[in-house]
Structure formats: structure tokens, C-alpha cells
Amino acid sequence: MPNHQGSLDRVFHALADPSRRGIVERLARGPASVSELARPLDMSLPAVLQHLQVLESSGLVVSEKAGRVRTCRVEPAVLRAAESWLGAQRTAWERCLDRLDEVLTAGPADLAAGGEDQP
Amino acid sequence: MPNHQGSLDRVFHALADPSRRGIVERLARGPASVSELARPLDMSLPAVLQHLQVLESSGLVVSEKAGRVRTCRVEPAVLRAAESWLGAQRTAWERCLDRLDEVLTAGPADLAAGGEDQP
């Protein structure tokens, strides 16, 4: 799945920057214009626009222009895709631990049963 | 929380590479030695070691050396931290949509009740 892989590359790359995560956190509370997003950030408007471009190219943020105002919002499906990948790895690891636990729990009991040689 | 921020920077940066995600996917199914990790990958051992270093510095992977074998495993708490951050943004957005839905649903009814001027 090269497209899906490439998309996760871009999503995780976009999230590796604290300013971009800040923008996502702000947009998760509701859509905002570019100037609303820029206001609390200690950086130039071109820098904000550059971060937004990285977020948009990852699909995490979509924007729409109405007149002179560009409004941005998060794309929950993209957040969910990254969350699902992480969840799948965590679940696989937990299953691995469960299997280890079963082996460790069953092991001594089996040995004991074998040793006692009960009917 | 500069440490937490810095840690998420490193975690998401580590996950932005498909080979590193492949290593995490393999390790989520159980611990593996460096040579076991390298076998299916089409790259030199130094390249694999470099990816492992990025993964270890993010905390996603921990390794231990016993004799000549270095065994790696995933660190589920770090996977969970990244997953939680994503989940929190998704939940915040869903709450935002719910509020919008409430406003849109309640709006016309309130207007209708007001217009009909019922007791």
C-alpha cells in the first residue's frame, strides 16, 4: 500500500513539530481562520502558512477560502488512520504478552501435573 | 511540558519513516534480535542500526545486549502516549461536532416554539 504508507509518512512528519501539533490542537476545538491560528503563535505569518501547508499536504488539515478569509479545520479520518496504526501495534504487543503469560502460567502447572502423575 | 513535547517530536519523527514503522510492526509481534530485524529489510546493517538508533532515542524501542546478541522490543507506553494525543484531538473534534449538531437541532425547534408562541 504505497499510497497509505506515503500518507502515514506525511502525517507523522507533520505531527513531529510542536507548532503544527499546536495548530491541530486548536483546530480540534473548532474551525479557525488563518489569522486566528497565527494570533497565539510567536512566529511570522509566512511561517504559519508554511506549517499549514505541511498539515494540508498530510491531509490532517483542510481549508476553504470564502472571500478574503481562509478557514481551516482538522480532518478526523486522517487523525483516525494514524491512531489506528498505533493502536494496531499496541494491540499486537498486548496479544504477544498475553501469549507469553499463557505459556508461563500453563508451563509450571503442566510440569507439576506431569510430575505428580495423577490419573 | 517541554519534555513531553520533545518526546512526542521524537516519536512522530521516528514514525515518519516506512522502514522504522516496519521495524515497530515486526517488534509489536514480539522481541527480535538486530539480525532478525535486518533480514527482511533491503538495506545494509549500518542503515538498520541507524533506524534503530532513531527508534531508541524516541523511546519507542528498547534493546538489551546479552553476550553478542542485542534483543529489541517495543515500549508500549510510548506507543500509547502518541495514540492518546491523537485520540484526544479526535475526541475534541467529535465534541465540537456534537455541539454544532445540538445548536443546529435545537435552533429551528426553539424558533418554531417562539413563533407559535405556545403557552
The string of pLDDT tens digits covering residues A14-25 is: 999 999 999 999
Banded pLDDT at B115 (limits 50, 70, 90): very low
Does residue A58 share a domain with residue A23? yes
Of A28, A40, A26, nearest in space to B88 by CA: A28
Does residue A64 share a domain with residue A14? yes
B106 inside 8 A of chain A by CB:
no
Of A10, A30, A83, the CB nearest to B96: A30
- pLDDT attached to residue A32: 96
Banded pLDDT at A101 (limits 50, 70, 90): confident
All residues of chain B having their beta carbon less than 8 Å from the beta carbon of residue A8 are: 15, 18, 21
pTM: 0.85
pLDDT tens readout for residues B82-104: 999 999 999 999 998 888 888 88
Does residue B91 share a domain with residue B57? no
- pLDDT attached to residue A110: 61
Does residue A36 share a domain with residue A82? no
Does residue A90 share a domain with residue A69? no
Does residue A83 share a domain with residue A47? no
Grid coordinates given for A78? 486522517
All residues of chain B having their beta carbon less than 8 Å from the beta carbon of residue A94 are: 76
Q: Is residue A36 predicted with pLDDT exceeding 70? A: yes
Q: Residue A115: inside a domain, yes or no? A: no
| Mean of pLDDT over chain A | 89
Q: Residue B115: inside a domain, yes or no? A: no
Does residue B70 share a domain with residue B38? yes
Does residue A57 share a domain with residue A96? no
Once rounded to an integer, what is the mean pLDDT over residues A67-95? 95
Give A107→chain B minimum CA distance, Å.
Answer: 19
CB atoms within 10 A of CB B88: 14
Number of structural domains (chain A) is 2
pLDDT tens readout for residues B28-82: 999 999 999 999 999 999 999 999 999 999 999 999 999 999 999 999 999 999 9
Of B12, B76, B96, the CB nearest to A93: B76
Q: Residue A23: inside a domain, yes or no? A: yes
This complex has an ipTM of: 0.84
Q: Residue B116: inside a domain, yes or no? A: no
Does residue B103 share a domain with residue B51? no
A37, B20, B31, B89 from A23: Cα distances, Å: 7, 26, 36, 11
Q: Do A96 and B29 touch (CB under 8 A)?
A: yes
- pLDDT attached to residue A1: 39
- pLDDT attached to residue A3: 56
A116, B23, B73, B88 from B69: Cα distances, Å: 38, 17, 13, 39
Q: Do A93 and B74 touch (CB under 8 A)?
A: yes
Q: Do A90 and B79 touch (CB under 8 A)?
A: yes
- The domain in which residue A47 lies consists of 2-75
A4 inside 8 A of chain B by CB:
no
Give A32→chain B minimum CA distance, Å.
Answer: 12
Q: Residue A113: inside a domain, yes or no? A: no
Instruction: Check which CATH number belongs to the domain holding A53 and give it.
Output: 1.10.10.10
Does residue A49 share a domain with residue A96? no
Residues 37-96 in B contacting A (C-alpha not used; CB under 8 Å): 74, 76, 79-80, 82-83, 85-90, 92-94, 96
Q: Residue A118: inside a domain, yes or no? A: no
Does residue B38 share a domain with residue B23? yes
